[in-house]
Amino acid sequence: MDFDFSDDQRLLKDSVDRLIADRYDFEQRKKYANEPDGWSRDMWARYAELGLLGLPFPEAAGGFGGGPVETMTVMEAFGRGLVLEPYFATVTLGGGLLRHAGSERQQAALLPQVAAGELKLAFAHVERQSRYDLQDVGVTATRDGAGWLLNGEKSVVLHGDSADKLLVTARTGGSRRDPGGIGVFLVDATAGGVSRRGYPTQDGLRGAEVSFANARAEDVLGDPGGALPAVQRVADEAIAALCAEAVGGMAAMHALTVDYMKTRKQFGRAIGEFQVLQHRAVDNFVALEQARSMAMYATMMAASDDAAERRQAVSAAKVQIGRSGRHIGQEAVQLHGGIAMTMEYKVGHYFKRMTMIEMLFGDTDQHLAVVAGGGGLF
């Protein structure tokens, strides 16, 4: 099996790596985090100029026709840089829903705006009681003439505080956990009846609690009662993207730790000369490569039309990412010592992001249950 990048993919990787190296060192990231939105609008414009915001969209909709491999390349680089901008929320989640559930009219109207950096999206799907169950939807959508009115609350809406439009899962029929009767509705974030409370998340990004009180939807994506398969597919693609981001973060943590072991001295020697610590560094490298392999597997399977096969693959990858991320993060903190827990040093920020990634779209235990329930991978 050929895992080499094509010429275009290598060019993309070089461009994104160079951008992150030049514009996203740790001091610059701290400045971006202190901007009003908690991220840099200047960097957002640069992503648009490079074509990153339209990367996975069809060329007919102003995109570049990229696939999961291109998304993996970008997300891994963003993981190394601890990127703060709402790329995942807007392009992977919002753009993914438009690609898989939106009509040609909706894609033609909205995706070019996303690609140009003019439209930010957020996917409002989590509710306080739902945990990781995508079909546990309590927000309701009721007919009102030719439109829909939404009522209820959504939690932990990633970058929901700065989004221009929200893509909201809401129930049009059935009971709270029925797989049928779920639609995805497009709502203007400033519409009447929409209330948002933004806050920083533990990893330095942004989230929001969003409530709807007879909020009128602008549009509905696809079948108002049959959106769950598209939502599940986007969630699988999102998990693959998060796995790639996590690999980038783990690789950076491992490199920082190895460099520190070469310079930190104890008993007159660099601590990296002690064999027991060398063994721990090797264990970290093994965990990193295991995570990288599974992230690549998830990327390969993300485009599969076989929902069960795709789900098994991304769940298995998420399990390995969760385990490797926790192992490498804990080891990085322990091998650095107290400095790793300070806000002024980068390792702790990586570990926070790894912890958050483990919790997004299902934690390690939940995905392990999915893999076990499906009889394993092979």
CA angle, residues 287, 292, 298, in degrees to nearest 5? 125
How many domains, the chain?
A: 3
Domain assignment present for residue 280? The answer is yes
Domain assignment present for residue 1? The answer is no
Domain assignment present for residue 305? The answer is yes
Same domain, 257 and 199: no
CA-to-CA dists, residue 151 to 125, 148, 246, 328, angstroms? 13, 10, 35, 43
Same domain, 85 and 175: no
Instruction: Kindly tell me the sign of the dihedral angle through the C-alpha atoms of 79, 83, 87, 88.
Output: positive
Domain endpoint, select from 208, 225, 242: 225
Establish how many alpha carbons lie within 13 A of residue 251's alpha carbon, considering only the half-sphere containing its beta carbon: 20
Length of the chain counted residue by residue? 378
Cβ-contact 304, 359 below 8 angstroms:
no
Domain assignment present for residue 378? The answer is no
Same domain, 160 and 72: no
The whole-number pLDDT of residue 374 equals: 83
Domain endpoint, select from 225, 255, 287: 225
Domain assignment present for residue 93? The answer is yes
Q: What is the CATH number of the domain that holds 17?
A: 1.10.540.10
Assigned token pair, 129:
């009681």
Same domain, 235 and 341: yes
Nearest residue to 299 (alpha-carbon basis) of 372, 252, 238, 350: 238
Same domain, 234 and 367: yes
Q: What is the CATH number of the domain that holds 163?
A: 2.40.110.10
Same domain, 19 and 98: yes
Q: Identify the domain containing residue 170 by its residue range.
A: 123-225
Domain endpoint, select from 99, 119, 139: 119
Three-class secondary structure of residue 136 per DSSP: coil
Domain assignment present for residue 348? The answer is yes
Same domain, 326 and 288: yes
The whole-number pLDDT of residue 1 equals: 56
Same domain, 190 and 109: no
CA angle, residues 334, 340, 341, in degrees to nearest 5? 105
pLDDT tens for each residue of the chain, 378 residues long: 567 888 889 999 999 999 999 999 999 999 999 999 999 999 999 999 999 999 999 998 889 999 999 999 999 999 999 999 999 999 999 999 999 999 999 999 999 999 999 999 999 999 999 999 999 999 999 999 889 999 999 999 999 999 999 999 999 999 989 999 999 999 999 999 999 999 999 999 999 999 999 999 999 999 999 999 999 999 999 999 999 999 999 999 999 999 999 998 888 888 888 899 999 999 999 999 999 999 999 999 999 999 999 999 999 999 999 999 999 999 999 999 988 889 899 999 999 999 999 999 999 999 999 999 887 765
Same domain, 156 and 202: yes
Same domain, 190 and 274: no
Q: What is the CATH number of the domain that holds 273?
A: 1.20.140.10
The whole-number pLDDT of residue 271 equals: 85
Same domain, 307 and 357: yes
Identity (one letter) of the amino acid at 78? F
254-258: Cβ within 8 A, 24+ apart: 254/281, 254/284, 254/285, 254/288, 254/328, 254/332, 256/332, 256/336, 256/346, 256/347, 256/350, 257/281, 257/284, 257/331, 257/332, 257/335, 257/336, 257/347
The Cα 169–Cα 149 span in angstroms is: 12
Domain assignment present for residue 260? The answer is yes
Assigned token pair, 343:
């806000």
Same domain, 243 and 362: yes
Domain assignment present for residue 277? The answer is yes
